[in-house]
Structure 1
Amino acid sequence: MLTVLMVLDAIVCIGLIASVLGQEAKSAGMGGMGGDADTVFSSKARGMDALLARVTVVLAVLFALITVIIARMTN
């Protein structure tokens, strides 16, 4: 059972890394206030960013839960 959880944890971890790297960088500070035509008129990009943000949250929670379960099983 422990081996299965460790493999599942590694798979979730790889998915989490991929979902974070797949997100578009958010502009920070005063430089990001202007925006351009791509960010203003691109609803598809915003939809994909929202989906990736949700996937990231779900995978992060799953990763944390599995890691805590593994830690409890090894003690």
Structure 2
Amino acid sequence: MAVLKTILTVVLILISIIITAIILCQEGKSAGLGAIAGASDTYWSKHKDRSMEGVLVKATRALVALFLILSIVLNIGSF
């Protein structure tokens, strides 16, 4: 059991490093001055989920879910 806990802890650390890197690669959510002029309703803003930014958001969500599940599994034995 100790080997499995060690492996899961290493995976948890790797996931946290990857999550940090992905979050740092993402753009900010501010619309900037384009929202004042009405430029926020462009083709790019409507189809952002197909871009690299959309992929980063989906990867972040999946890795955070995996991080939470691993955290719960690792802490079940500590009660």
Taking structure 1 as the reference length, what is the TM-score of the superposition? Answer: 0.76
Establish whether residue 27 from structure 1 lines up as the match of residue 30 from structure 2: yes
2:59 to 35, 55, 59: 55
Please give the per-residue CA displacement for 1:15-43, whole angstroms capped at 9, x wherever unaligned.
11111111001106x856137x8xx5768
Question: Which of residues 60, 71, 74 is equivalent to 1:70?
Answer: 74
1:8-27 alignment to 2 at 5 Å?
8-27=11-30
Aligned alpha-carbon RMSD (Å):
2.5
Gaps of 5+ in 1: none
Confirm or deny: 8 A CA contact 1:5 1:66 kept in the other structure. yes
> Is there any run of 5+ residues in structure 2 with no aligned partner, and where?
none
Instruction: Give aligned-pair identity as a percent.
Output: 29
The structure with the largest alpha-carbon Rg is: 2
Q: Which runs of 4+ in 1 moved over 6 A?
A: none
1:51 and 1:6 map into 2 onto residues whose CA distance is: 26
* RCO higher in structure (CA 8 A, sep ≥6): 1
